[in-house]
Amino acid sequence: MSTEYKKIAFHTMGCKLNFSETSMISKDFTRRGFKKVGYKDFADFYVLNTCSVTDNADKEARKLIRQAKRINPNSKVAVIGCYAQLNPDEIFNIKGVDLIIGSEKKFNLLNELDSIDIAGETKVIRADISETHSFKPSYSIGDRTRSYLKIQDGCDYVCSFCTIPLARGKSRNDSVKKTIQLANQAIREGAKELVLTGVNIGDFGKSSNESFLSLIQELDKLDIERLRISSIEPNLLSKEIINFCSSSKKIMPHFHIPLQSGSDKILTLMRRRYKRSTYFECVKMIKNVIPDATIGADVIVGFPGESDDDFVETVQFIDKLKISYLHVFTYSERPNTDAIKLDNKVDNKTRAKRSAILRKFSQKMLREHQNKFVKSSRPVLFEYLRNDKIVGYTDNYIKVGVQADSSIINTIQNVKLFDYRDEYIDGELADLA
């Protein structure tokens, strides 16, 4: 296949892990002479890297497939990732899809794309997830100054609501040594910050007889200005890890710790591996040793069996935690999960109401947290220009916009923080001295 003037567009749904993998896959194409364009632009090929955590994610994927074909009816469309792994038959029935590749084989996309030129019909490539044992390292670069560094894949947990083990298989990782090599590669390509990502990063080391703590201790020695830990389970965020983070000048004071519910009853039904008390002690320790830390949480509302009292218990528990923000998810029935078999379903109207309450609560929490830092100065890594402002993030992940020259993009500057403006805090560059 001639690649002269061939334009390819990628769109990534879902988690930071997907972004890391899309970035790695796209490099294969640019090395072959393809030109990358935006997903809303005219392209010869469209690649959709999918998520399937919720029913809404599946609906969005179908919408994006149709969108690509409207832009260029003669284009080829490839759907890869979790949705392709879990529901290839559903995607097969969407008009215009040429190639469907599940989780294990998506890194072979370039070779497979060659084959659809002559195939003339939808091709499905999907391995049994139980046979998925290999680890494919990846990192994102070029899209942002932060690089999402994939350190782990898959999950051995059996949460009753989750399809990820079905889509990505068992937990696995590279060795610390190989992960450090990958990190150095991202640094050489210009990354100012490495964000450690995976399905369950606290499980790092399971397949190499090492540990997440040993990994971050080695990463801390690298010539990088910032390291950031993405979502990590509360039962895996040990005292030793928190203490090391508090002593590190490179690991940012920012933790995202999934909660899912503030009710022990619901946590049990979800088959989570902790209770409220574990979560509370984890947050308490972070606040004691890293007082400026930003702490976020995932919460699922409307899970089967969640009564009004259970929901109130969750709200009260979150209020007691005094954390910084929430990612709120409305429970979504997913095929082949045990949660759909549970009794006492919560009606959709109640789910939506509870979700709205928590989202509003989250906005209030975030405003209160950010206000603590108004009139203070913090280091900001600037990433992009938006509406005449250069936007970036503080060490503790507060979004900041300043009036400045675009030359500060991909640099860390000391910034004095002022009032909240819509989506970010207004700031001005401070004297580094």
Place of tokens 């969750």: 314
Angle of helix 16-31 versus helix 109-119 axis, rounded to 10 = 70
3-class secondary-structure state, position 174: coil
Q: Does 7-127 carry CATH code 3.40.50.12160?
A: yes
Pairing of strands 412-421, 424-429: antiparallel
Output the six-digit token pair for 175: 């060795």
| 377-429 belongs to CATH 2.40.50.140 | yes
Separation in Å, CA 177 to CA 127, 171, 228, 383 = 29, 18, 19, 29
Residue type (1 letter), 99: L
Residue 248 belongs to what H/E stretch? none
For the chain, 433 residues long, give each residue's pLDDT as a single digit of tens.
444 559 999 999 988 899 999 999 999 999 999 999 999 999 999 999 998 888 888 889 899 999 999 999 999 999 999 999 999 999 998 888 999 999 888 999 998 877 776 556 888 988 888 877 789 999 998 766 799 999 999 999 999 999 999 999 999 999 999 999 999 999 999 999 999 999 999 999 999 999 999 999 999 999 999 999 999 999 999 999 999 999 999 999 999 999 999 999 999 999 999 999 999 999 999 999 999 999 999 999 999 999 999 999 999 999 999 999 999 999 999 999 999 999 999 999 999 999 999 999 999 999 999 999 999 999 999 999 988 899 999 999 999 999 999 999 999 999 999 988 777 899 999 864 3
What are the residues facing 391 on neighbouring strands?
Answer: 384, 401
| Predicted pLDDT at 186 | 95
Question: Quick check: helix, strand or coil at residue 139?
Answer: strand
- Nearest alpha-carbon partner for 415 in 423, 404, 141: 404
Contact 404, 419 (CB under 8 A): no
pLDDT the model gives residue 117: 60
Would the pTM of this model clear 0.85, i.e. be above it? yes
Indicate the helix (H) or strand (E) that contains 388.
Answer: none
Q: CATH for 146-371, among 3.80.30.20, 3.30.2350.10, 3.40.50.300, 3.40.50.10140?
A: 3.80.30.20
Domain spans in the chain, listed from the N-terminal domain onward:
7-127, 146-371, 377-429
Predicted pLDDT at 433:
34
